[in-house]
């Protein structure tokens, strides 16, 4: 290996890992990247596997992709009073694949973010009744006739669910659509810590503050994942190239703490340290890291398309995925047939 070559380990061959590999290989610097992937193929969390626990090779299944998904592994499963009494089927959306198994059953889906809505609608074609339980305001979109919105769950009984408004329903299945928890089982806790979903010590959600050649792609949540990961991977390679002059360790720590404090003042809780899903936060983040690396930020058309599709998803959930778009230039997009 020549003095100009650098060996780079890329952990994971999902979207983030593949983006990192591409930019490493396209760099003018002479990198020797090695990708470590525990799955049987590339794709990571986006690689569909019909199995839900163990794959055909006897390895744990970590993808959460269900058959009809057109969008992490450690499941967030809340404690619910009486769950041990419930005699029906209980599982997390991580283990959901197809809706046919729930024919003529009464199902309660806990959580109404994208996967909760998606699974509730998918199951509605087969289930007798689906109760979509959540703490949000009433969803604006139309839902199938047999999907009923309910408040959060207060407790479970033998074959019934009690909601926070004290109404009860008989159910056969409980599905947790309650998200995932961040974990790095390949890093020791003296290197990286995760507390209430806050990964530390990180600068700009990318750079390990103490070990600055330990870099993360894909930490931010609720953002336009594919293009943002592609851009973050560019920043990572620019840092390795030496194009980016990082601040001192003390300055990076101060910046991370200021960002955390700003989020708290804006009403975000500890679990939303890396949350990018409100307003233009993800686009401001993109501009900041692009400027740091001397890159162009994502075109304005990406933001406009994201904002438009978000409205369509919130108001026309049953049909929005049938829409197709083409980005025509840096500012605009059009819908195509």
User: For the chain, what are the domain ranges?
Assistant: 5-37+181-298, 77-178, 301-336
Q: What would the mean pLDDT of 284-307 be, rounded to a whole number?
A: 97
Q: Is the dihedral of CA 12, 13, 14, 16 positive or negative?
A: positive
Q: What is the pLDDT of residue 64?
A: 44
Q: Find out whether 301 and 329 touch, Cβ atoms under 8 Å.
A: yes
Buried b (16+ CB within 10 A) or exposed e, 305-337: bbeebeebeeeebeebbeeeeeeeeeeebeeee
Least confident of 52-61, 76-85, 105-114, 219-228: 52-61
Above 70 in pLDDT, residue 1? Answer: no
pLDDT band, residue 66 (cuts 50/70/90): very low
Q: How confident is the model at residue 2 (pLDDT cuts 50, 70, 90)?
A: low
Q: What CATH code would you report for 5-37+181-298? A: 3.50.50.60
Check pLDDT > 70 for residue 49: no
89 Cβ contact list (under 8 Å, min separation 6): 172, 173, 174
pLDDT band at 181 (very low <50, low <70, confident <90, very high): confident
Asked if pLDDT for residue 184 goes beyond 50, the answer is yes
Neighbours of 174 (CB within 10 A): 22
138 DSSP assignment: P
Query: What is the average pLDDT value for the chain, to the nearest integer?
Result: 90
Domain 77-178, second-level architecture: 3-Layer(bba) Sandwich (3.50)
Distance between CA atoms of 119 and 107, rounded to whole angstroms? 10
Structure confidence at residue 73 as a pLDDT band (50, 70, 90): low
pLDDT the model gives residue 182? 87
Query: Out of 178-182, 188-192, 323-327, which region has the weakest mean confidence (pLDDT)?
Result: 178-182
- Indicate if 77-178 has the same CATH topology as 5-37+181-298: yes
Residue 54: predicted pLDDT: 62
Alpha carbons 198 and 252: distance in angstroms, whole number:
16
pLDDT at 75 over 90: no
Nearest to 252 by CA among 294, 296, 215, 297: 215
pLDDT in tens, 231-241: 999 999 999 99
Mean pLDDT over residues 161-180, rounded? Answer: 95
Query: Is the pLDDT assigned to residue 48 strictly greater than 80?
Result: no
């Amino acid at each position: 290996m020549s003095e100009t070559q650098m060996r780079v380990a890329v952990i994971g061959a999902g979207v983030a890992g593949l983006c990192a590999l591409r930019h490493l290989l396209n760099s003018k610097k002479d990198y020797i990247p090695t990708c470590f992937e525990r799955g049987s193929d590339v794709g990571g969390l986006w690689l569909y596997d019909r199995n839900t626990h163990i794959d055909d090779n006897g390895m744990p299944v970590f993808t959460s992709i269900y058959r009809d998904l057109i969008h992490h592994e450690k499941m967030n499963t809340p404690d619910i009073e009486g769950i041990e009494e419930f005699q029906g089927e209980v599982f997390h959306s991580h283990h959901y694949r197809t809706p046919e198994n729930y024919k003529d059953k009464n199902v309660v889906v806990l959580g109404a973010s994208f996967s909760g809505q998606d699974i509730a609608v998918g199951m509605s074609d087969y289930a007798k009744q689906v109760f979509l339980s959540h703490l949000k305001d009433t969803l604006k979109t139309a839902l199938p006739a047999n999907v009923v919105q309910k408040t959060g769950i207060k407790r479970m009984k033998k074959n019934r669910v009690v909601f926070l408004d004290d109404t009860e329903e008989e159910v056969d299945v409980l599905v947790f659509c309650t998200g995932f928890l961040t974990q790095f089982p390949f890093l020791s806790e003296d290197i990286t810590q995760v507390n209430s979903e806050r990964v530390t010590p990180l600068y700009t959600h990318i750079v390990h503050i103490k070990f600055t050649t330990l870099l993360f792609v894909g930490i931010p949540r609720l953002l336009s994942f594919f293009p943002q990961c592609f851009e973050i991977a560019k920043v990572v390679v620019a840092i390795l190239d030496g194009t980016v002059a990082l601040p001192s360790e003390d300055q990076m720590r101060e910046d991370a703490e200021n960002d955390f404090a700003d989020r708290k003042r804006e009403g975000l809780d500890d679990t939303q340290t890396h949350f990018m899903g409100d307003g233009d936060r993800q686009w401001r983040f993109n501009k900041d890291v692009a400027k740091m690396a001397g890159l162009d930020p994502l075109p304005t058309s990406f933001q406009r398309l994201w904002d438009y599709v978000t409205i369509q998803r919130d108001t026309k959930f049953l049909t929005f995925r049938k829409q197709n778009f083409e980005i025509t230039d840096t500012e605009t997009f059009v819908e195509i047939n």
